[in-house]
Amino acid sequence: MKKFLTLLLSLTFALALTAQAEDKRIVMIAGSPSHGPEEHEFRAGLLLFQKCLAGFPGITVEVYSNGWPSNPAVLSGAAAVVIYSDGGGGHPALQGDHLSQLNTLMSQGVGFACLHYAVEPMIEKGQPEFLRWLGGCFEINRSVNPIWTADFKTLPVHPITRGVKPFAIKDEWYFNLRFRDDRSGVTPILTAVPTPDTMSRDDGPHEGNPGVRAAVHRGESQTVAWATERADGGRGFGFTGGHYHQNWGDDNMRKVALNGILWVAKVEVPPDGVNSTVTAADLEQNLDPKGRKPKAPAAVPVVK
């Protein structure tokens, strides 16, 4: 009997280790501090996501702060890489040989998600890769970054929208994005019709251009979050909101992001999505030291 109990305990321990070893690793990369208080809170946002996903079966979430991990070996074996950071020339993925590192992962079918400014590579560096891996991106002198209240009145049937209800919220939602030709393999997740005030600024590299002004005047719906399935077997998720940290307190906005992260990691999204609770105290945790706290933007409730 004693030998049987010993064998049973050993088997149980071995199974526990095997289950733990099989957890899918989601590597999240937070950019360096940027913008004003409670804006572009990359580290605080990803640590909040880590908290929301704690205990979710089958995954392990790792957060690396202040840019690219110093030890690139931590990327090996990842099921997905999530970047929440500044974009353009300061994008962590565009420094050194980081695109090459990502290319190796993407060729293995690793998932890729970019949040807010991280969806903007440079035309001369990173855009071809982002179009392949992510399906779309912000393009300078084409796309725009106004702050506006996007009203997401309808949602497509997709694992990323599970449990998400129509909602409206004020954020820096980018639109008139560059997608792959014919949007092959790209599924819009969040779409809204930009309000006229989005074109209140003079034309500029991020502000406006004749083409986007005409589209807004026509009342065209714009994609501000999307998903893609790649030819290499991997998945991509782009989400342009996330300028204001307090907006992660909105259950629907947060659920879209969390569902999207699971989806790119090829983890089954629950029928009602990722349920999580975020308190006002949670939103005050891990903020970058940026001085005086500003007044948070007011979310616009929508009665459905």
pLDDT, residue 294, reads: 53
* pLDDT tens by residue, 37-47: 999 999 999 99
Q: Residue ranges of the domains in the chain?
A: 24-283
Instruction: Tell me which amino acid residue 107 is.
Output: S
Yes or no: say if 168 and 152 are a contact pair by the CB < 8 Å rule. yes
For 76-109, what is each residue's pLDDT tens digit? Answer: 999 999 999 999 999 999 999 999 999 999 999 9
Has residue 272 got a pLDDT over 50? yes
**What pLDDT does 183 receive?**
87
Q: At what angle do helices 251-264 and 42-53 cross, to 10 degrees?
A: 80
Three-class SS state of 152:
strand
Q: List the helix and strand counts (H, then E) for the chain.
A: 7, 11
DSSP-derived letter for residue 67 is: S
Q: What is the architecture, at CATH level 2, of domain 24-283? A: 3-Layer(aba) Sandwich (3.40)
Q: What average pLDDT does the chain have?
A: 91
Element containing residue 20 per DSSP (H, E): helix 2-21
* pLDDT tens, residue by residue, 141-194: 999 999 999 999 999 999 999 999 999 999 999 999 999 988 889 999 999 999
